């Protein structure tokens, strides 16, 4: 059996150490997230503002929160973890998890996201370990393939679960931050659109008036331009509006609200089923090869 040379040994050692550290850090962070989730209490809160901060040379968004604990204490704090994208906006109603012993330690990310985020480092650790083993024992590199394939499959599944949990929570957060009211079509706006052949086409969009939970009258004009008015004057429609900004309203269409999360869930289940089918087919092939 050929022994690896010194550069390969050094690289293998680096890969193995990096893999072990990655797995250790992921398990430690996941254990901390689970411990926080077990002792945390929940409360309804509100995002006061979203701040931009630079961490590790990348732009992140930190939400400043306001909520009341079970004991009635008013808390103003920042979310424990920043987001790489602007998940929340000022005024959003959120579900807050906080440490009863230290309420300023609060989190608004979904529970699944809190736990899955550190666990997603484990497949990367497995990939590093597989490459390190392959470099350390070139003659037995094939034995590292199951670890490499398993790590890659686990990464895909965890990423799918992470995206699914995030999409579902986003839909739930939008519904928490909004309320539904009954609106009436009071008129229509007209817009003329020109075509390349010189034709002009008139488009119409409704103007809707509704009353909020607080009894305030509000009006909004959805950008639902059509060749003929889709909703006649006097029509009654369901309106979903933001509590902090009633003018930012839309016609309530629950199907469209859940279309994206359901699509993500179905895609994740399809990937999961495809992975299971591929693994089962591979196992059958191995059994058939052994019998032959």
Taking only the tens place, the pLDDT of each residue in 194-218 is 777 778 888 889 999 999 988 999 9
Q: Which residue has the tokens 């193995």?
A: 16
User: Mean of the pLDDT values across residues 142-158?
Assistant: 78
Whether the Cβ atoms of residue 132 and residue 124 lie closer than 8 Å to each other: no
- Does residue 85 register a pLDDT over 70? no
Q: With cut-offs at 50, 70 and 90, classify the pLDDT of residue 93.
A: confident
- Does residue 38 register a pLDDT over 80? yes
Q: With cut-offs at 50, 70 and 90, classify the pLDDT of residue 160.
A: confident
Q: With cut-offs at 50, 70 and 90, classify the pLDDT of residue 283.
A: confident
Q: Which residue has the tokens 């196992």?
A: 283
Residues 6+ apart with CB under 8 A from 229: 188, 204, 206
- In CATH, the number for domain 179-252 is 2.40.50
Closest CA to 96 of 88, 108, 87: 108
pLDDT of residue 109: 79
- Does residue 282 register a pLDDT over 80? no
Which pair of tokens denotes residue 220?
């909004």
- Does residue 20 register a pLDDT over 80? yes
Whether the Cβ atoms of residue 57 and residue 40 lie closer than 8 Å to each other: no
Q: Which residue has the tokens 């034995």?
A: 143
- Does residue 250 register a pLDDT over 70? yes
Q: With cut-offs at 50, 70 and 90, classify the pLDDT of residue 141.
A: low
Which pair of tokens denotes residue 112?
């699944």
Mean pLDDT of the chain: 83
Compute CA 24 distance to the chain's CA centroid, rounded to the nearest angstrom: 25
Report the DSSP beta bridge partners of residue 62.
51
User: Which contacts qualify for 137-143: CB closer than 8 Å, 24 or more apart?
Assistant: 137/4, 138/2, 138/4, 138/8, 139/1, 139/2
Q: Where are the domains positioned within the chain?
A: 6-175, 179-252
Q: With cut-offs at 50, 70 and 90, classify the pLDDT of residue 139.
A: low
Select the more confidently predicted residue: 86 or 275. 275
Q: Which residue has the tokens 């926080």?
A: 36
Whether the Cβ atoms of residue 144 and residue 131 lie closer than 8 Å to each other: yes
* Virtual torsion, Cα 263, 264, 270, 272, nearest 10 deg: -160
User: Mean of the pLDDT values across residues 80-93?
Assistant: 75
What is the pTM (predicted TM-score) of this model?
0.59
User: Mean of the pLDDT values across residues 260-283?
Assistant: 77
Whether the Cβ atoms of residue 238 and residue 182 lie closer than 8 Å to each other: yes
Which backbone phi and psi does 21 adopt, to 5 degrees?
A: -65, -45
Which pair of tokens denotes residue 197?
């052949």
Q: Which secondary structure element, helix H or strand E, spans residue 16, and what is its range?
A: helix 6-39
Whether the Cβ atoms of residue 112 and residue 168 lie closer than 8 Å to each other: no
């Amino acid at each position: 059996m050929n022994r690896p040379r010194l550069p390969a040994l050094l690289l293998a050692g680096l890969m193995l150490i990096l893999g072990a550290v990655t797995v250790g850090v992921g398990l430690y962070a996941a254990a901390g997230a689970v411990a926080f989730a077990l002792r945390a209490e929940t409360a309804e809160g509100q995002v006061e503002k979203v701040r931009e901060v630079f961490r590790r040379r990348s732009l992140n968004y930190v939400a400043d929160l306001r909520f009341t604990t079970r004991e009635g204490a008013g808390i103003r704090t920042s979310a424990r973890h920043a987001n790489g994208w602007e998940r929340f906006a000022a005024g959003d109603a959120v579900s807050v998890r906080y440490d009863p012993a230290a309420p300023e330690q609060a989190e608004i990310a979904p529970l699944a996201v809190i736990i899955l985020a550190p666990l997603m480092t484990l497949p990367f650790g497995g990939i590093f370990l597989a490459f390190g083993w392959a470099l350390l024992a070139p003659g037995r590199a094939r034995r590292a393939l199951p670890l490499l394939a398993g790590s890659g499959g686990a990464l895909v599944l965890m990423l799918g679960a992470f995206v699914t949990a995030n999409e579902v929570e986003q839909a739930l957060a939008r519904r928490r931050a909004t309320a539904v009211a009954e609106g009436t079509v009071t008129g229509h706006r007209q817009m003329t659109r020109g075509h390349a052949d010189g034709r002009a086409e008139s488009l119409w969009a409704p103007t809707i008036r509704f009353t909020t939970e607080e009894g305030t009258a509000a009006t909004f004009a959805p950008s639902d331009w059509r060749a003929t008015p889709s909703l006649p004057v006097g029509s009654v429609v369901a309106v979903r509006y933001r509590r902090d900004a009633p003018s930012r309203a839309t016609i309530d269409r629950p199907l469209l609200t859940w279309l994206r999360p359901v699509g993500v869930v179905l895609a994740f289940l399809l990937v999961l089923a495809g992975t299971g089918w591929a693994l089962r087919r591979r196992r059958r092939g191995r059994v058939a090869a052994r019998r032959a």
